[in-house]
Structure formats: structure tokens, C-alpha cells
Structure 1
Amino acid sequence: MKPVVVVGAGAAGLGAALRLAHGGCPVQVIDGAAGATALSCGAVDVTPWEDGDAGERVEDEALQLLEGLGLHRVAGALLATTAGILRGAGGADRALLDVGAWRGGTVLVPRTDHPGWDGGVLARSWSDTETARARGLTFTAVDATLLRFREERALCDADIAARHDDAARLGWLAERLREALARHGRCVGVILPPWLGVEAPRAEALSERVGLPCGEALSALASAAGRRFEFARDRALARAGVSVRRGWVRRVVASSPWTVELEDGEPLAASAVVLAAGGLVGGGIAYDPSEAQVASEVPAQARPVFRTGIEAPGMLGAGGRPLELPGSLFGVPPESIAWPFARDPLMDRVGLLVDGAMRVKGAPGGLLACGDLVADRPRTWLEAWRSGVRAGNALCGMLLGGEDVDLHDARG
């Protein structure tokens, strides 16, 4: 059997690849570059946290595969962010501190000499939230030495986090925190900058040494959590025997077998293809309005404002319908399709139209899509993961369960 080619190595691509590999299908992953998952902050949700709980849950099969990464706790969590708020999450990286575990008490917030962390301001902001007052939680800033070397003040969070993969450095940090605790007195936990490891979450090991729960605050994009995912992903793919190739996919051609053309190297033959190349952040979708065409005066023709980053069968759409041509050669005003100007912005919904098994509509059988590349689904970490597992499950049924993959069956 030719391998299934999975294009993309974020949450969606990894979920699809692991499900296929565990089901007995040969898999090859094409990893182009870091996308939205590598930029993730560590909170994982099915629906956007601002919308509250919409009642969706992750299927047991997807949860079992996720637990195998050893990276996340998939249970309700309350996280303190470096923007000074408390927010709920469907789950979280194990390095993050779940302050929802307590009703009442004081959480210690170390002050330290780093431009990305102001413990005093954060402690006041968190304490002043309605959630903290309702729970009787207080956040108190105390002086503590967290940086061991002067040059660390200029390092980004992920680089400092990498230094705490070393057991000796983690032990040094535990001693400094115990000193701060001795000066302050009783508290329920310690919340720290996002510095607790990149090869694996180090919060549990630190908590054991300190004698109190310790963990990170939820930071902005491109934190240590994205690096931790990449390490966990590489370990999981290696254990599953999945082949990984670095490169960019240019085109996917419906043939028997499928052909995946790369920008560099020989084309790949595949029994099926899973597109998990991400949305606007990952490069799977490009904003490409009519006015972007080279023209002396006006564009030569109108075209939809979005296109796929990979040439492949299928239709981009939103609201269950293909994208329409704009009524003007100059496309549509950007503010009409983007938040916060539009209530339900097209930019947040556009993607490939798929059916319930993640098969691309309008494409021959054997082409599936998942993650942020799919239309009308939440752009969240757990939604990407579960859609990838669903795509892998569907292909296992087709390839190993005796179902015919008809290259001439264009699903509408």
C-alpha cells in the first residue's frame, strides 16, 4: 500500500498521522514550517473561550491519542494570563498553573528583573478580577531571584524555559522559591513566567521540590508551550514509526495513486492525502484579492478574496457555500471580512468545504482536510486535533476496512 501523505505537522496533522499509524496505515508527514500550533500559548479549547462552553466534547478516541503525548491535561482549567486576566480553558499544557483548583487562598507571584514579567502589576490585575473575588483568591507579589545569570534578562521566554530542562537549574530555582516562601508565609501555590521547560513540562518536578503547586502563567503567542508541542510531536511520530519529511507542497494531483508535488524533490505517490496545512496563519489559506493582481490601471478580472496555499481539488467556502466572486474588480473592503469590523467575519470562517468524515467536497475520493483549513469550524487547538483524528479514522475505514476509494467520486 502506498503511504497516506499528511500535509502539515500541527495539531491537526499530528492527530491524523497518529490515528492512521495506530490503525496500521503507512504514513508520511510533510512538515513545511511552524504554524498556528507552534505559536500556541498552552491553553487548549474546542470552542473559543470567549464564547463559553458550547457543549462540545472531544471524542474518547481523540482523547486517548492526546494523552499519549504526555503534554496536556484535558479537563476544565482556570488560567492566569500575562494580560492580567483569568480565563477558563477546556484543557492546558501541564506546565500551566490551574488556579481553579482553589477556593480561597493566596497565590504567590514572584517579582523578577525581566522585561517580559511584572509580578507586581500582574498580581494586582489578577486579584482585581471578578473571578478571583468570587473565589476568594488573592495574588501577592514577592521579591524572588529567578534569573541566575545577568544575560538571561535579554533572553526570550522559550530560551529561558530551555535552561530549566536541566535538573540542576530546576533545583536552583526551587531553592530560590523556597527562600521567597519562607519570607512570605502560607500560600496555596506559586505562579511563574512561562519558563518551565521545552523538552517537556517541568512544573510537576518543580512542585515536588518546592512542596507547593507551581506553574506558568498563560502567555501570549510564541511561548515555550509551542516548543514543548514540537518536542512531544517528534517523539510521538518516532514512536509510531511515521516518516517525516521537511518541505513545501506545491500541488496535489488526483491520479491513481495520488501525486503530491513538492517545491523541491521528486513527487510522492500516495494512496490518499490529508491536507492539514493550517489556515491564514499556517499558509494553507492565502488572502489574495483582485487588487493584488499586477495591472496598470485596474485588475484584469475579479476573483474570490481567498485561495488555498496548495493547488488541489476542492472548493473554498463559508457558511456551507462556495466563495462568491466580488461585485467589483477591486474585491471587497478588507474591514468587511475581518474582526472587529464584521460580527461574523468571513476571515474566521473561510476554508475548504468538507463532509462529516472530513472528505473534501467537490474532490475525488481520498482527499481529506482538517484543522484550520476547514470551513465553518472554530479555530481552536482541540478542534484542530479532533478533526485530524476524525480524518485519520475515516481513512482507516476506507483503506483498511474494504471501502473503495473512488478517484472519480467527486463528493458534492
Structure 2
Amino acid sequence: MMSESVQNNSVPQIKIPATYMRGGTSKGVFFKLSDLPEAAQQPGVARDQLLLRVIGSPDPYEKQIDGMGGATSSTSKTVILSESESAEHDVDYLFGQVSIDKPYVDWSGNCGNLSAAVGPCAISNGLVDPARIPENGVAEVRIWQVNIQKTIVSRVPIVNGEVQETGDFELDGVTFPAAEIPVAFMDPADGEGAIFPTGNLIDQLDVPGVGILKATLINAGIPTVFINAADIGYTGAELQDAINGDSRALEMFETIRAHGAVRMGLISDVSEAGKRQHTPKVAFVAPPADYVSSSGKNVLATNIDLLVRALSMGKLHHAMMGTAAVAIAAAAAIEGTLVNLAAGGGKRNEVTFGHPSGSLRVGAEASLVEGRWHIEQALMSRSARVLMEGFVRIPGDSF
């Protein structure tokens, strides 16, 4: 009787070509747009439901056991690539941040870490004109980031006509070395150069239950709310367990994030923040100090300019989101922001900041044009590697 019931309720699985990749300190499932089932080739419910099922969400257990997700914001990610419709770009890159416990895919921002994997994946999947790929050297891949309507330029190393993945470039937060991929985020501010949505380098943010906080609200790379660690009782050298194991702390950070989102004009009421989990990010900064990273590595104050800790999807990130690193670079380059002041103030075009897994150097050039700050580009190096390729399978009635 049991076997008959199973057979009667059985729905065949479908196979979808996909590549599982690490980019920076994140992992995600990459698809070519043309490989998706027809119903999912357009934005909408079918696409969202398909990606949710691929990743294994929503999962009330928050483990994503029945999917490709890894139960963290860094590993609950999807990417859709296609040949660019623009002559100035090689590939169009659409990013979907999949909620772990809710039936929701957030399309409101980019993933800076996975941006490093887009160039290699596009080349390997025939989305870049072969004429632009040298036999040996560097292929410059011009990426159109669809979510935020911005250009990213990735410099992908090529050996014997193939993407080089192995190498000796070390990235804190990633266990093994790999090939270095410099990534440039061009004109990373949103809209028409509105780096500071309020027009202020520092705002006073009134947060219920917390008080009035100094905050730098910046939109470069990704909308980010920066606050001082000392103003909320932290040193800036905290690791994940100190924050993620404290439900009151997580609630406080979410409240700060929600009120920052309203002040930045991303939502009209704090009640809407739950449906915009990916943006804005909230981060806290402090002057440099010695600490021991999550891997046991000693990070010395003399080797960094400041400390930064950032939350993603409601939890302290194990390293640093790539887009938040762009925001850090931009804010550090502009004298008078909380990030710049934590780094010692003054004019600077690059900083090295300490995060839970170690440190990272980022750079940006800032200029004041007709009373508005402008960032031409933000630069950082990442690495990427194909972990698996072939097909993902999901039940045919998932979408």
C-alpha cells in the first residue's frame, strides 16, 4: 500500500544545466538564461519558485538540506547569465539572494563576491566572444550588473585558452589559494551619483530602544548603514559567535537596519524591511586593534587601517560581502565619514580593514564634482573556482 501511494504521488524530476561556483567568500548556483525552463526565463513567480527549490528554501529548520544552499547568506545565492544586449558589455549578470527560511528571492542588489565568478563562468560557458580571449594573458570581461544597472570589469587570467583557477593568491575567509581576479566596480553609486541619499556624510539616526546613533548612510556598491562600534557597546573586533548567538543583538541590528532603510528612502515604513532583506547592509566600524581571526590568525593593528564588521541577511558575515567592501572603499575615500574617521581621517585612496576572517585591501578614488561626491571606480581582488558542473534536479511541479 505504501509503495502504491508513493507512486501515485510521484512527480518526475527535471534536470537544468548549472554550474556551482565559489566567488570570493560566497558560493552560488549559476545558470545560463537560455538553459532555464521557458516559464523561468522571465522575471516572476515561476523563476522565484524554481530558484527557491534549487537552493532548498523556504526551510523552517534553516539548514537547506534538500537543496544546494549552505544555510548561510553567503551560500544561499543564485546567478543568471546571458549574452549582453549591449555592445559595450560581454555578459548580463542577474543576482538573486534566496531567503533561507522564507519563500522569497531578493533581487534588490548585487553580490560583490560572486561578481568575481561571473567572468570565468561566462568565458567557460561561451558567453564571451572568443576573439576577446587571449591564448595566454588576461581577458577583460565587461559585465552589466542587471540588478543595480552598473558596469563591472573583471580581469580573468587565461592559460592555454582556458580560465586559470588555481594559483597562489590568498583571500582571508577562503581556506585554499587560487588565481587572483581583480574586479573593478565602475561608478558604484546608485542613481545619478547619489552616494549619500540624505546629502550628509554623517546623520543622526533615532533608533527605538537604542537611542540616537551617528550613521553614515552610503549607496556605493550596495546601500549600507555604517555606525560606530563603541556607540552600541562593541569593540569592532567581534567574531560571529559574539553577535549571531545573541538574539537581542540581532534584533537591535535589524531595527537599526530598518530605520536606516527608511532614512535612505529604500522603504517608506520600517514594517517593509522584512521584505527587503538583502539591502541595505548594516556595519559597525572602529579604529584598528589587535585580534585573533576566526581561523586563529593574529591580525595586528599595525597592519590594518580600521576594523569593520557587517551583517548580511540578519547575521554577522564570516568575512566581508564584496559589495559592502565597495561601500567601505568609497566611504573611506571621502573625508568625514564614519569609515574615514575610524581609519584616522584624511585623504586616502585605499584602506586595509580587519574583518572576522582576517583583512582585505580595497581602493577607491573620490572627487567632489559640483557639490556632489563621485566615485569613478572601486577596486578589489578576489578569486573564483568551479566546484561542480552539470545539472541540478528539482521536482517538475516546483514552479
TM-score above 0.5, yes or no: no
What TM-score, normalized by structure 1, do the two folds share?
0.22
What TM-score, normalized by structure 2, do the two folds share?
0.23
Q: Which has the higher strand share?
A: 2
Q: Which has the higher helix share?
A: 1
- In our comparison, the structure showing a higher alpha carbon Rg is 1
